[in-house]
A and B are shown apart, each in its own frame.
Chain A
Amino acid sequence: MKLHEYQSKQIFAKYGVPIPKGRVAATAAEARQIAEELGGRVVVKAQVLVGGRGKAGGIKLAKTPEEAEERATEILAMKLKGLPVRKVLIDEAANIAKEIYLGITNDRAARKPVMMASAEGGVEIEEVARTMPEKIIKIHIDPLLGLRGYQTRDLALGIDLPKEHWKAFSKVCFGLWEAYQKSDATLAEINPLVITDEGEILAVDGKMIIDDNALFRHPDLAEMRDLDVEAPEETEARKYGLSYIKLDGNIGCMVNGAGLAMTTMDVIKLYGGEPANFLDIGGGANAEKVAAAFRIILSEPNVKAVLINIFGGITRGDEVARGILAAMEEVKPQVPMVARIVGTNAEEGRRLLANANMITAETLVEAAQKAVAAAKGGAQ
Chain B
Amino acid sequence: MSILVNKDTRVVVQGITGREGMFHTTQMVAYGTNVVAGVTPGKGGQWVLDDKIPVFDTVKKAVETTGANTSVIFVPARFAADAIFEAADAGVELIVCITEGIPVQDMMRVRAYLDQKGSRLVGPNCPGLLTPGEAKVGIIPGNIAIPGNVGVVSRSGTLTYEVLYAMKLLGIGATTTVGIGGDPINGTSFLDALKMFEEDPQTEKVVLIGEIGGTDEQKAAQYIADHMTKPVVGFIAGQTAPPGKRMGHAGAIVEGGEGTAAEKIEALEKAGVKVAKHPEEIAHILKDL
Spell out A's residues near B (CB within 8 Å): 106, 108-109, 111-113, 142-144, 181, 184, 186, 211-214, 216-217, 243, 245, 247, 255-263, 265-270, 275, 278, 280, 311, 313-314, 342-344, 363-365
Given contacts A213-B102, A217-B78, A243-B247, 14 further A-B contacts (CB under 8 A): A106-B184, A113-B105, A144-B112, A211-B103, A258-B156, A258-B252, A259-B159, A260-B156, A260-B159, A266-B240, A266-B278, A267-B278, A313-B140, A365-B278
Pick from B9-17, B50-58, B63-71, B211-219 the stretch touching chain A.
Answer: B211-219
Known: A108-B184, A109-B215, A258-B249. A364 touches B280 (CB 8 A): yes
| CB-nearest residue of chain B to A310 | B158
Question: Which residues does chain B contribute within 8 Å of A263, judged by CB atoms?
Answer: 159, 162, 235, 237, 278-279
Question: Which residues does chain B contribute within 8 Å of A266, judged by CB atoms?
Answer: 237-240, 261, 278
* A216 to B101 Cα, complex, angstroms: 10
Question: Which residues does chain A contribute within 8 Å of B214, judged by CB atoms?
Answer: 108-109
Measured CB to CB, the closest approach of chain B to A254, in angstroms, equals 13
| CB-nearest residue of chain A to B20 | A283
Scoring B residues 232 to 249 as 1 if CB is less than 8 Å from chain A, else 0, what string do you get? 000101111110011111
Q: Is the CB of A213 within 8 A of B247?
A: no
Question: Which residues does chain B contribute within 8 Å of A142, judged by CB atoms?
Answer: 112
Contact of B205 with A by CB under 8 A:
no
Contact of B157 with A by CB under 8 A:
yes
* A108 to B255 Cα, complex, angstroms: 11
Question: Which residues does chain B contribute within 8 Å of A245, judged by CB atoms?
Answer: 242, 245, 247
Interface size class of B (residues with CB under 8 A): 35 or more
Q: Is the CB of B250 within 8 A of A213?
A: yes
Measured CB to CB, the closest approach of chain B to A275, in angstroms, equals 6
Q: Is the CB of B108 within 8 A of A143?
A: yes
| CB-nearest residue of chain A to B109 | A143
For chain B residues 65-82, which have a beta carbon within 8 Å of chain A? 77-78
For chain B residues 192-219, which have a beta carbon within 8 Å of chain A? 209, 211-212, 214-215
Q: Can you sample 8 A-B contacts with CB below 8 Å? A: A243-B247, A259-B252, A261-B248, A262-B247, A265-B241, A278-B245, A311-B162, A314-B141
The A-B contact count (CB < 8 A) is 155
Contact of B161 with A by CB under 8 A:
yes
Contact of B144 with A by CB under 8 A:
yes
Q: Is the CB of B209 within 8 A of A259?
A: yes
* A211 to B239 Cα, complex, angstroms: 25
| CB-nearest residue of chain B to A248 | B242
8 A-B pairs with least C-beta separation: A259-B156, A258-B248, A257-B158, A259-B159, A214-B103, A313-B141, A143-B108, A262-B237
Measured CB to CB, the closest approach of chain A to B210, in angstroms, equals 9
Q: Is the CB of A278 within 8 A of B241?
A: yes
* A255 to B214 Cα, complex, angstroms: 23
* A270 to B277 Cα, complex, angstroms: 8
Question: Which residues does chain B contribute within 8 Å of A211, judged by CB atoms?
Answer: 103-105
* A245 to B238 Cα, complex, angstroms: 13
Question: Which residues does chain B contribute within 8 Å of A261, judged by CB atoms?
Answer: 247-248
Question: Which residues does chain B contribute within 8 Å of A217, judged by CB atoms?
Answer: 78, 103
Q: Is the CB of B247 within 8 A of A278?
A: yes
Measured CB to CB, the closest approach of chain A to B31, in angstroms, equals 11
Question: Which residues does chain A contribute within 8 Å of B111, judged by CB atoms?
Answer: 111, 143
Question: Which residues does chain A contribute within 8 Å of B144, judged by CB atoms?
Answer: 313
Known: A211-B104, A363-B280. A342 touches B162 (CB 8 A): yes
Known: A143-B108, A280-B248. A108 touches B157 (CB 8 A): no
Q: Is the CB of B109 within 8 A of A144?
A: yes
Q: Is the CB of B108 within 8 A of A106?
A: yes
| CB-nearest residue of chain B to A218 | B103
Measured CB to CB, the closest approach of chain B to A18, in angstroms, equals 25
Contact of B165 with A by CB under 8 A:
yes
Q: Is the CB of A259 within 8 A of B158?
A: yes
* A255 to B141 Cα, complex, angstroms: 17
Q: Is the CB of B185 within 8 A of A313?
A: no
Q: Is the CB of B161 within 8 A of A186?
A: no
Q: Which of B27, B155, B240, B245 contacts A259 (CB 8 A)?
A: B155
* A363 to B246 Cα, complex, angstroms: 27
Measured CB to CB, the closest approach of chain B to A40, in angstroms, equals 38
* A106 to B246 Cα, complex, angstroms: 16
Contact of B143 with A by CB under 8 A:
yes
Question: Which residues does chain B contribute within 8 Å of A342, judged by CB atoms?
Answer: 161-162, 165
| CB-nearest residue of chain A to B185 | A111
Q: Is the CB of B112 within 8 A of A257?
A: no
Contact of B47 with A by CB under 8 A:
no
Question: Which residues does chain A contribute within 8 Å of B123, judged by CB atoms?
Answer: none
Q: Which of A256, A259, A343 contacts B141 (CB 8 A)?
A: A343
| CB-nearest residue of chain A to B105 | A184
* A174 to B279 Cα, complex, angstroms: 48
Contact of B182 with A by CB under 8 A:
yes
Task: Select the residue from B139, B155, B157, B252 with max chain A CB neighbours within 10 A.
Answer: B157
Scoring B residues 145 to 165 as 1 if CB is less than 8 Å from chain A, else 0, what string do you get? 000000000111111111001
